[in-house]
Amino acid sequence: MSFLSLIILVLAPSLAALFIANPWLTGDEAETRKLSIGFSAAFFIYSLFFLFKYDFQQGGLQFVQNLRLPPEGSSWIQSMGINFSLGVDGISLILVVLTTFLVMLACIASKNSIVKKFKFYYSMIFILTTAVLGVFTSKDLFLFFLFWELELIPMYFLISIWGSGRKEYSATKFVLYTFTGSIFMLASILAVYFYNHAQTGIFTFDMEALTFHSYNYPLMYELLVFWGFFIGFAVKLPVVPLHTWLPDAHVDAPTPVSMLLAGILLKMGGYGLVRMNLQMLPEAFKILAPVIVILGLINLIYAAIITFAQDDLKKLVAYSSVSHMGIVLIGLGALNTAGVTGAVFQMFAHGVISAGLFMMVGVIYLRTKTRSIKELSGIGQAAPKIFYFSLAIVLASLGLPLFIGFAAEVLAFIGAFTSNVATPVSMQCLTVIAIFGIILTASYLLWMLKRVFFGPVSEKVQNISDLNPGETVVFVSLVLVIAVFGFYPSAITNVFVPTISAIISR
């Protein structure tokens, strides 16, 4: 096995979870935290080697591995055509690096947020890491579904044990929504699987074989399969009206878990739409692309309007995530290289920005014990470090030029404005309306900034401490990524544009 092994990358976090959970390791908070940060940093550094060794010119799936079982070296479940097969292309690779990066920062941010059952907590974080990495690297549809469902277990515990408020309710709601969506996704997976067998006589879940087949689906069949996949991924993205689990989960989850939930778990939905709906079912996607753009527009505008009514700072940030995911749908629905590039870039940009926004909420709540915007004002005077880092992240979220959010949004809107999935006039009108949603985004974020950070110092804010070293590391890391890749976006887009161009050319 070579030094760069996706099997090692995916399974190592679970081994780390077992190591941390073993009874011979003391439950001491400092020791457990240091071990967890060390493991997560090692996984992040290891993932960077895949990025450095990836051949951008060649594109396509690379570092492909198939787990073979002794003694004959057979596939995982050979009789059913199921393989433990992993590989990454430009799209999945950038999401893999995003995952390991945010998991490392979440482990650092957990110091002040997690006050009990430290071994179990960090074990769940690493099992979640294995599940998400498995989703982004799976080359086999059955394996993809297995990792997709595995993610539910650690996330349920992370919210229900270490959360606050109605934490059990929110965790259960998250699981029920995702599991219900997964039923539709499983039906589509089996429909593709059995139709391929009927045409070729071969049982296989291999994504490449199912994508680059030589037959065509009957149109109605393909449309039904498309909607099954779409519902499953729309719950996770989330798409209005399947979004109602998200605000509850965010509000009741601890800060590091909210960072992971918004930063990487929502991206599983966007990734699934690219990998299954766009790549595997192109004819259905062409027909339904205008519908996807309209759904994205609804997400963007509706969630932005709802955000104005929020007094809970964390719920405001949660609804802003729903709104920003509308840009992903608009870019995908454009069905051209610029639009899809903007959608994928938006997934990466939102992952970093949303993690920063939830970190901002977390450090404020730890110091004031409130998330009510009415009770917060003057933080800029009392804690200037919190203010300056929060200012940078908020400005990136509203799409300020030279920050990462601006580059992603511009690409998505250019793609939508020049799209030919509908009449030029209709697409241009929809794009103009979508840009109005960006104005709403700027409005509620600047309103929040004014209420929370400016004005007289409120009673809750008096005598609060500024950032500690661990929190500073998290903020500096996020702001550096936001600024560097906002100024130089091609450093990110060069990773996945060749893959997107190949998908669009189909």
The tens digit of pLDDT for each residue in 441-454 reads 999 999 999 999 99
Lowest mean pLDDT among 124-128, 400-404, 460-464: 460-464
State residue 215's pLDDT score.
78
Q: DSSP readout, 70-126?
A: TTTTB-TBGGGTB--EEEE-HHHHHHHHHHHHHHHHHHHHTTTT--S-HHHHHHHHH
Within a domain: residue 118? no
Q: Which of 299, 302, 341 is nearest to 324 (CA)?
A: 299
User: CB–CB of 240/303 below 8 Å?
Assistant: yes
Q: Where are the beta strands (DSSP E) in 302-436?
A: none
pLDDT band at 461 (very low <50, low <70, confident <90, very high): confident
Average pLDDT across the chain, whole number: 91
pLDDT band at 172 (very low <50, low <70, confident <90, very high): very high
Three-class secondary structure of residue 421 per DSSP: coil
Lowest mean pLDDT among 206-215, 322-331, 376-385, 487-496: 206-215
Within a domain: residue 309? yes
pLDDT band at 209 (very low <50, low <70, confident <90, very high): confident
Q: Kindly list the distances between the CA atom of residue 502 and the CA atoms of 230, 375, 419, 496, in Å, as whole numbers in the listed order.
A: 22, 52, 17, 10
Residue-wise pLDDT for 107-145, tens only, equals 999 988 888 888 999 999 999 999 999 999 999 999 999
State residue 175's pLDDT score.
92
Within a domain: residue 267? no
Within a domain: residue 437? yes
494 pLDDT more than 60: yes
506 pLDDT more than 80: no
pLDDT band at 231 (very low <50, low <70, confident <90, very high): very high
pLDDT band at 31 (very low <50, low <70, confident <90, very high): confident
Structural domain boundaries enclosing 475: 287-506
Within a domain: residue 129? no
Summarize the confidence of residues 27-46 as an average pLDDT. 90
Within a domain: residue 68? no
Residues pairing with 85 in the sheet: 66
20: CB partners within 8 A, 6+ apart: 32, 35, 36, 39, 119, 122, 123, 126
Share of the chain above pLDDT 70, in %: 98
Within a domain: residue 109? no
Summarize the confidence of residues 392-407 as an average pLDDT. 92
122: CB partners within 8 A, 6+ apart: 17, 20, 32, 33, 35, 36, 107, 110
Phi, psi of 213 (to 5 degrees): -75, 165
Within a domain: residue 414? yes
Q: Is the pLDDT higher at 62 or at 58? A: 62
pLDDT band at 193 (very low <50, low <70, confident <90, very high): very high
Q: What is the dihedral of CA 168, 174, 180, 185, to 10 degrees?
A: -150
Q: Which of 229, 44, 241, 267 is nearest to 141 (CA)?
A: 229
State residue 157's pLDDT score.
95
How far from each other are the two terminal CA atoms of the chain, in whole angstroms? 34
**Measured on CA atoms in the order 278, 147, 354, 5, is the torsion positive or negative?**
negative
Residue with tokens 């690493």: 126
Q: Which two tokens stand for residue 196?
A: 């391929």
State residue 71's pLDDT score.
61
Q: pTM here?
A: 0.94
pLDDT band at 72 (very low <50, low <70, confident <90, very high): low
Domains in the chain, number = 1
State residue 1's pLDDT score.
47
